[in-house]
Amino acid sequence: MADSIRGDPRMTVRRMRFPYPESLKAWWNPARPEFSHIVNAASLAMPYLEPYLIETMRQARAKIVDAQLLKDVDLYIGQESTHFRQHQQFNKRLADLGYRTVPAHEATVKADYEAFARSRSFTFNVAYAEGFEAMALTIGHMLVEDRAFLFRDGDAAVSSLVLWHFVEEIEHKCATYDVFKALDGRYVWRIYGLLYAMIHIMARTRQGYRAMLIEDGIWFTWRSRLALYRLLVRIFAKLTPRLMRILKPSYDPREVPDPPWVLAWWRLYRDGGDRLGELDMGKLAEPAPVPRAA
Ligand SMILES: [Fe+2]
Ligand SMILES: [Fe+2]
């Protein structure tokens, strides 16, 4: 039964182009510097986190016999590979802006994932991967639901990068779950992986955006701190009920319906929408993505 619904026929590896402007700023959303740096800090982790997930899934691949699941794992690896390469390009632009704390932050995150890969058990690494993916699915839903509020005033290319990434996180929502179920499946490990990945990534992301906001000179201002806390309350109000759902023993990501905006994104790409790397920020509230006019 599970085999017949496993594997999303839409899942595909996409080559994207995000035309960042010459004048790209770290506050790529000038109306939301705190959100800009939350995204920047998360982006800095991707070239270390995603290769770690890929390596874990490569090891898992050797233990899998199901042909459909093998195909899904290959597509998952393909998508994650394009994600971290795209983030590398964006991160390079961020580094060029001269933040002194960026290399140190990258080194910390790199060391974390090297240590996990080297000294943690395979069970831990698969549970971390599934925990991360389950959390990424909730973040994807939150970002898409709140897209107009979060991105409206943002740079089109950076916003489109983030939204594309999470459109694909939603798309491959079942891959690591199916691997975890096939190779282990223990509830305790699934929840441990979720909590560990969440706490680890959130703590590192906070460290990253805090350092950049300190360099910007606004971390200690009440105005920025208030904006940050209001934003975090808004984000967690949307994430928490979705995270609670993952805690249920019967959780299965294929029972999480895909948002209509994401379905429209997939259709647009399939039908030749090659301008999805530059969405029209003024039309984010519309039910389907609208690429910026050429
Ligand atoms: Fe990804
Ligand atoms: Fe992912």
* Contact by Cβ (8 Å): 174, 8: yes
Q: What is the pLDDT of residue 40?
A: 98
- Residue 51 covered by a domain: yes
- Residue 253 covered by a domain: yes
> What is the CA(142)–ligand 2 centre distance, in A?
15
Cβ neighbours for 207, distance < 8 A, ≥ 6 positions apart: 41, 105, 108
Q: What is the pLDDT of residue 273?
A: 73
Say how many domains are in the chain.
1
* Residue recorded with tokens 């979705």: 242
Q: Residue 89 has which token pair?
A: 């390009």
> What is the CA(132)–ligand 1 centre distance, in A?
10
> What is the CA(278)–ligand 1 centre distance, in A?
19
- Residue 7 covered by a domain: no
- Residue 289 covered by a domain: no
Q: Which amino acid appears at position 234 of this protein?
A: R
Nearest ligand atom owner, CA of 175: 2
Q: What is the pLDDT of residue 220?
A: 96
- Residue 106 covered by a domain: yes
Residue 137's domain comprises 31-283
> What is the CA(160)–ligand 1 centre distance, in A?
14
Q: Give the single-character DSSP code of 293.
A: P
Backbone phi and psi for residue 291, each to the nearest 5 degrees, phi listed first: -65, 150
* Contact by Cβ (8 Å): 42, 65: no
> What is the CA(20)–ligand 2 centre distance, in A?
23
> What is the CA(98)–ligand 1 centre distance, in A?
26
Nearest ligand atom owner, CA of 129: 2
- Residue 20 covered by a domain: no
Q: pLDDT (tens digit, 0 to 9) for every residue of the chain, 294 residues total? A: 333 334 456 689 999 999 999 999 999 999 999 999 999 999 999 999 999 999 999 999 999 999 999 999 999 999 999 999 999 999 999 999 999 999 999 999 999 999 999 999 999 999 999 999 999 999 999 999 999 999 999 999 999 999 999 999 999 999 999 999 999 999 999 999 999 999 999 999 999 999 999 999 999 999 999 999 999 999 999 999 999 999 999 999 999 999 999 999 999 999 887 789 999 999 999 999 999 987
Q: What is the pLDDT of residue 110?
A: 98
165 membership: H or E segment, kind and range: helix 156-171
Rg (CA), the chain: 19
Query: 294 to each of 16, 17, 190, 232, 275, how far by Cα in Å?
Result: 16, 14, 46, 35, 9
Give the CATH number of the domain where residue 50 resides: 1.10.620
> What is the CA(222)–ligand 2 centre distance, in A?
35
- Residue 22 covered by a domain: no
- Residue 293 covered by a domain: no
Backbone phi and psi for residue 32, each to the nearest 5 degrees, phi listed first: -135, 70
* Contact by Cβ (8 Å): 127, 184: yes
Q: Residue 165 has which token pair?
A: 């990434």
Q: Residue 286 has which token pair?
A: 């519309």
